[in-house]
Amino acid sequence: MYAIALSLIAMITILSQILIQQYLSSQVTDSHVINIAARQRTYSQSLSKTALLIESGNDIETNRKEFANTLRQWQKSHEALKGGGSDFMNLPANDRDELKEMFGIIEEPYAAILGASNGMLKELYSPKALDSMNLKAYIRTILENERMYLLGMELIVFDYDRFYRNGVKKLKEIEYILLYIVLVSLFLEAVFIFYPLAVRVKQNMKDLVESETNAKNLATQLQEANTIREQSHKEFRDINYALEKATYVVKTDQYGHIIYANDKYCHVTRYNMGELIGKPLFYNNMGGKESIIYEHINNQERRKEVWQGEIFDHASDGTGFWLDVTMMPIIDNKGSLYQFLVVCTDITKRKNTERELLLLTEEKIKRQGAEQKIISYSIINGQEKERTRIAAEIHDGIGQMLTSLRMKMEMIENKNTHLGSDITELTDLLQMVINETKKICSDLLPSVLDDFGLSAAIRELQKMCSATTEMSFDLDDELEPHALPREVEIGIFRILQEGLNNAIKHSKGSNVFIHISNDEKNVHLFVKDNGKGFDFDEKKLLSREFIAKSNGLRNMKERAELLGGKFVVKSLIGEGTTLQVQIPI
């Protein structure tokens, strides 16, 4: 009830102030309107005076400018008063019918004065000689209508004044009504609010005396509870002391800035407490990179959960250390997070040991890989030497014997012509054996590779493949003329030999495209057939089942890798097979 009464009085006071302010604002506007209306009289008189001065020939240039300026001001002010709502002159809208009628009365003299003035201006600014008769006619028109215009403007000013006095009278009546309502409200407030309130206060004093007695009893109980609380605090201090001495303890605000750190944390970071206060928690790389812990602190959904992890940080002298960190959020009574408690243990020794073990393991793996490459490279070199030896023995032994046998067969055929076709068949068969023996020797070690280099050996291999199958072989040889290392030439030749052999046996295609080139650093080999292809996966090269079925692909990959190169196979069913080899020179 008291709030309602005060609100009513406040509303009446505010309403009264609004009305008064509105009246004052209107007074300012009214004064402005009356001022402009009064100035119209001055402007019209100035027009007449300036016109008479021009007629008398006194300083025509100055009076002509004065006449033009006064006419513009007079015209703008009249139009603004008549129409109202002028932003330029800050006038309200003219919505009163009696004022419009009054402006209608003076419209005729206004139009006559305006027309005569404009005509006079044309004469004054005309390049022709000034006609005094025309000026006199215009001046006579201005003087004849001036009196009617001034009387009309005086009536308009009086009407403005009467209208604004009526407004003041209405405002007084409203203010008296509001004052009466305030007085009635104050009387009702005294009867219905203040008297019951006095009775209520008296009852409250009685209740307070009873509450004092109850408070004494509660004080006794609080004293007992305080004794128990002190004991709990002592236990907490003992636990906190043990925690601080055993681990690193840090407290941060809700944004991760340090507000407390124990001595052990100060020791490991080589900072004192004053230097740590306000610093971000765990800034790695000497303050250059934000710690991973801030991903948790800045996550609004997970920051109220406990975070645990391992963090690497730097001390002030640049030494690094590892900490096993547990960060616990601290929540206030309203459920808002305002601090973090961070408990850490030093795991630097363990991390250093793990890193050393990792380095030893990596070194062992690298050493085993190098040893394996050396063994494989030795095996391949041994194979090449063995092939050379076998090829030499076949060429020098069996090859010579077969050639001698063929020559004897030809001698027998020449001496015994009656033996007929049988001896001819034996001679042809022996020639086939000799050709096959030459092919085996060439496969084991093509002499053209040693004699003329890789390009010649590849062209020879192309001819041999073309002679043994109906497939066509297109060769794009872009090898530079300078010699390549022998092991690179042998490796490329064996990979190409195995690739063409696979294409002839398994692709069932009609064409094989071969491209070979080299730059300053690498030799590039590209072999593509248009055969049936197969479902190939790089991981299959490592499976035992695939190795058993496709030992050739495995051998080509091993040869390329032993030479430090790359071997890539691409194949899809129905789209052929592509081999890409890159070996460093």
The pLDDT tens digits along the chain (585 residues) read: 778 878 888 888 888 778 777 766 666 666 667 777 777 778 888 888 888 888 787 777 888 888 888 888 888 888 777 776 555 555 666 666 777 777 778 888 888 888 888 888 888 887 776 667 778 888 888 888 888 888 887 787 777 777 777 777 777 888 888 888 888 888 888 888 888 888 888 999 999 998 888 888 888 888 888 888 888 777 777 666 666 666 888 899 988 889 988 888 888 888 888 888 888 887 655 555 667 788 888 888 888 889 998 888 888 888 888 888 999 998 888 888 889 989 888 888 988 898 899 999 888 888 876 776 676 566 666 666 666 667 666 766 676 777 777 777 777 767 776 666 666 777 777 777 776 776 666 666 666 676 777 888 888 888 888 887 888 899 888 888 777 887 888 888 888 888 888 888 888 888 999 999 988 889 999 999 998 888 776 665 555 555 555 677 888 888 888 888 899 988 888 888 999 999 998
Backbone phi, psi, residue 565, to 5°: -105, -170
The tokens describing 129, both together, are: 């000689």
Are 38 and 187 contained in the same domain?
Answer: yes
Cβ-Cβ contacts under 8 Å for 123 (sequence gap 6 or more): 130, 131, 134, 135, 138
| Pairing verdict, β 522-529 and 337-346 | unpaired
Q: What is the pLDDT of residue 26?
A: 62
The burial of 115, by beta-carbon neighbours within 10 Å (0-12 exposed, 13-18 middle, 19 or more buried), is given as: middle
pLDDT at 526: 93
In terms of domains, do 320 and 468 share one? no
Judging by beta carbons within 10 Å of its beta carbon (0-12, 13-18, 19+), is residue 303 exposed, middle or buried? middle
What are the φ and ψ backbone dihedral angles of 527, each rounded to 5 degrees?
Answer: -130, 125
**Residue 368 domain-assigned?**
yes
Q: Which two tokens stand for residue 99?
A: 């004022």
Q: Are residues 136 and 186 in the same domain?
A: yes
Domain membership of residue 216 (yes or no) is no
Mark whether 158 and 30 lie in a shared domain: yes
CB 302, CB 296: distance < 8 Å: yes
Angle at alpha carbon of residue 251, lines to 249 and 257, rounded to 5°: 130
The answer to whether residues 282 and 135 belong to one domain is: no
Asked if 329 contacts 337 with a C-beta cutoff of 8 angstroms, the reply is: yes
Instruction: Give SS3 for 153.
Output: helix
Residue 222 counted as domain residue: no
Which two structure tokens, joined as six digits, stand for 464?
Answer: 């041999």
Whole-Å CA distances, 101 to 98, 104, 112, 158: 5, 5, 18, 14
Within a domain: 234: no
85 dihedral zone (left: phi>0; alpha: psi -120 to 50; beta): left
DSSP H or E segment with residue 331: strand 320-331
Which pLDDT score, from 0 to 100, does residue 186 have? 84
Q: Are residues 173 and 48 in the same domain?
A: yes
Range of the domain at 389: 352-445
Which residues pair with residue 314 across a beta bridge?
320
Q: Return the pLDDT at 270.
A: 85
pLDDT score, position 555? 80
Collapsed DSSP state (helix, strand, coil) of residue 91: coil
Per-residue pLDDT at 525: 92
**250 touches 344 (CB < 8 A):** yes
Looking at 419, 445, 471, which one is the last position of a domain? 445
Is 29 in the same domain as 146?
yes
User: What token pair was written down for 502?
Assistant: 């696979």
- Of 346, 369, 387, the one marking the end of a domain is 346
Do 389 and 291 fall within a single domain?
Answer: no
Provide the domain count of the chain.
4
Question: Residue 520 gets which letter from DSSP?
Answer: S
Is the separation of the CB atoms in 90 and 28 below 8 Å? Answer: no
Tokens of 209: 């005396």
The dihedral of CA 437, 443, 445, 450: what is its sign? positive
- What order do you get walking across the sheet with 511-518 strand by strand? 472-478, 511-518, 522-529, 577-584, 566-571
Starting at the earlier edge strand, list the strands of the sheet with 320-331: 258-261, 248-253, 337-346, 320-331, 307-314
Query: Is 98:109 a contact under the CB 8 Å cutoff?
Result: no
Predicted pLDDT of residue 460: 83
Rg for the chain, CA atoms, rounded: 58
Alpha helices in 469-543 (DSSP H): 486-502
In Å, the largest CA–CA distance within the chain is 165
* Residue 517 sits in the same domain as residue 497: yes
Structure tokens at 326: 């547990």
CB burial of 48-81 (b: ≥16 within 10 Å; e: otherwise) equals bebbebbbeeeeeeebbebbbebbebbbebbebb
Question: Which whole-number Å values give the CA distances from 83 to 77, 208, 308, in the listed order?
Answer: 10, 73, 80
| Cβ atoms of 262 and 244 closer than 8 Å | yes
Which tokens sit at 1?
């009830």
Task: Identify whether residues 389 and 503 lie together within a single domain.
Answer: no
Asked if 388 and 363 sit in the same domain, the reply is yes
Q: Which of 329, 346, 363 is the last residue of a domain?
A: 346
Length in residues, the chain: 585
Please tell me whether residues 41 and 187 are part of one structural domain: yes
User: What count of other Cβ atoms lies within 10 Å of the Cβ of residue 282?
Assistant: 24
Please give the sequence-ordered ranges of beta strands (E in DSSP) within 22-124, or none if there are none. Answer: none
Could you tell me if residue 27 is inside a domain? yes
Bridge partners of residue 478, in order along the sequence: 517
Note whether 348 and 322 are within 8 A (CB): yes
Residue that is written with structure tokens 């940080």 in the block: 313
Is 208 within a domain? Answer: no
